[in-house]
Amino acid sequence: MRREWWILLGVVALVWLLFQLETMLMPFIAGMILAYLSDPLADRLERLGLSRMLAVCAVFLIMSILLAVALLILIPLIMQQIRQFNQMIPGIFAWVQTVLAPQLQDWVGLDVTADLDAIQQTLAENWQNAGEYAAQLLGQVGRSGMAFLSWVTYVALIPVVTFYLLLDWDRMIANLHDMLPRRWEPDVVRLSRRCDEVLSAFLRGQLLVMLSLGVIYALGLTLVGVRFGLLIGMIAGLASIVPFLGFILGISVALLVAFFQFGTWLALVGVVVVFSIGQVLESTLLQPKLLGDRIGLHPVAVIFAVLAGGNLFGFTGVLLALPVAAVIMVLLRELHERYKRSTLYDVDRPEHRNEDSP
Do the Cβ atoms of 209 and 217 come closer than 8 Å?
Answer: no
C-alpha dihedral (238, 243, 248, 250), degrees to nearest 10: 20
Q: Is 254 helix (H, G, I), strand (E, B) or coil?
A: helix
Q: Which residue has the higher pLDDT, 136 or 57?
A: 57
| Chain segment 216-271, per-residue pLDDT in tens | 999 999 898 888 888 889 889 888 877 778 888 899 889 888 887 887 888 889 99
Which amino acid is residue 304, in one-letter code?
A: F
E strand intervals along 234-331: none
What's the pLDDT at 133? 45
- Within 8 A by CB and 6+ apart from 172, the residues are 165
Which amino acid is residue 189, in one-letter code?
A: V
Which amino acid is residue 328, in one-letter code?
A: I
Least confident of 28-42, 89-103, 132-146, 193-207: 132-146
- Within 8 A by CB and 6+ apart from 161, the residues are 27, 28, 30, 31, 32, 35
- For residue 59, pLDDT beyond 60: yes
Q: What is the mean pLDDT of the chain?
A: 77
- For residue 351, pLDDT beyond 50: yes
Q: Taking residues 91-110, what's their average pLDDT?
A: 66
Buried b (16+ CB within 10 A) or exposed e, 338-349: eeeeeeeeeeee
**3-state helix, strand and coil shares in percent for the chain, rounded to the nearest 5:** 85, 0, 15
What's the pLDDT at 134? 47
Do the Cβ atoms of 232 and 247 come closer than 8 Å?
Answer: no
Least confident of 47-61, 132-146, 198-212: 132-146
Do the Cβ atoms of 97 and 112 come closer than 8 Å?
Answer: no
**Burial classification of residue 206, based on how many CB atoms lie within 10 Å of its CB (0-12 exposed, 13-18 middle, 19 or more buried):** buried
Least confident of 15-29, 49-63, 101-115, 223-237: 101-115
